[in-house]
Amino acid sequence: MRLIPLIIAVALAVALEAGEVAAAPDVTTPALAINAEAVLLLDREGRVLYAKNPAISHAPASLVKLMTLYLAFEDLEAGRAQWDEPVEVSRHAAETPRYRMGLRAGETVPLSTLLEGVAIASANDAAAAVAEHLGPGEDRFVDRMNLKAKELSLARTRFANPHGLPDPGQRTTAVDMAQLIGQLVEDYPASRTILGGKAFIYRGRVYGRRIPLFEDPGGVQALKTGFTNEAGYNLAIAAWRDGHSFLLIVLGCQTRSHSFRDAKKLLQLGFGEPVIERKPDPRRPPVRVRKPPPKRQRARVQTAGHRRFQGERACLAPGRSSSTRTAPSSTCTR
């Protein structure tokens, strides 16, 4: 475990936060339009290539799962766990709020599948099941997370659960998340494969993620997303290409696409590619926002719709119940 380059980066990032330096001494930092509340881009020597509020406290969301994965790989390497050993899913884990794989209480799932669920699907039920299995017990596992955070010098990070669902006591910084993903991919190279994965199959269902950064600008070999209403959209990335490697943290973007655009700009900066800023076209007319109808009009529309529904019911064949109709299903997307 080598902490020296990243500890140097921590000192530089804190200096950046205090306004003492603009970047590493031999790095010119361009002005970029960044949506994120906090970002940090480091090269392999731990030099700060770009930073914005790198030391402010922020909700980590599912970036918490990086520590869950770190402890899982630690147990695998130490022989305390086996890649395909069976894990029984508890009711507590199965009922963990979304996003979920849809694990069922009492079923047995290979640990490897759960780790794919944590890394690729960002499944909270999978993270809870891993924590309960390896803790042993979720509370014990969270204690281990905080002990490891102290060991890795994550000075401003506190974990409250293994999945990242909101908790007032769960906080981090861009500096600490860079330290964490850097140590994870260095100490356990196998984590690069799982964090670079795009899909896996469980019970005949494909769980996939569409991350444009894997193709453009490319070079992304380990990536973890995170989102809650509190945190916004977060990213943790480790990238390698043409002999260059970088760590990138993006915290608090307003939308998922904003997080990807910010990350693309910063990776292009790191790889020495031209960064093209998207500017609004002054010739393009402003988008007209449709206003909702007045309350009375909405009431009439709803009443008319209700009458149409009643008419449809009346048109059903004799003896056929309206309960045979299937209501359209709703889906939740990230």
Helix (H, G, I), strand (E, B) or coil at 90: coil
Confidence grade of residue 278 (pLDDT, cut at 50, 70, 90): low
> Omega before 166 cis (within 30°)?
no
What's the whole-number mean pLDDT along residues 57-64?
A: 98
Q: Which helix (H) or strand (E) holds 38?
A: strand 38-43
**Tens of pLDDT along 62-75?**
999 999 999 999 99
Q: Which residues are catalytic?
A: 62, 65, 122
Average pLDDT of the chain is 83
Q: What tokens were used for 91?
A: 């009711």
Q: Is the distance from CB of 139 to CB of 107 less than 8 angstroms? A: no
- Beta bridge mates, 250: 39, 235
Pairing of strands 38-43, 199-202: unpaired
pLDDT digits (tens, 9 = 90+) for 161-207: 999 999 999 999 999 999 999 999 999 999 999 999 999 999 999 99
What structural domains does the chain harbor?
A: 40-45+52-271 (3.40.710.10)
Determine the average pLDDT of the residues in 81-105: 97
Phi and psi at 38, nearest 5°, equal: -150, 140
Rounded to 10 deg, the angle between the 174-187 and 65-78 helix axes is 20
- For residue 274, the model assigns a pLDDT of 77
The pLDDT of residue 189 is 96
Q: Which of 161, 163, 156, 154 is nearest to 125 (CA)?
A: 163
Task: State if pTM tops 0.95.
Answer: no
CB atoms within 10 A of CB 130: 30
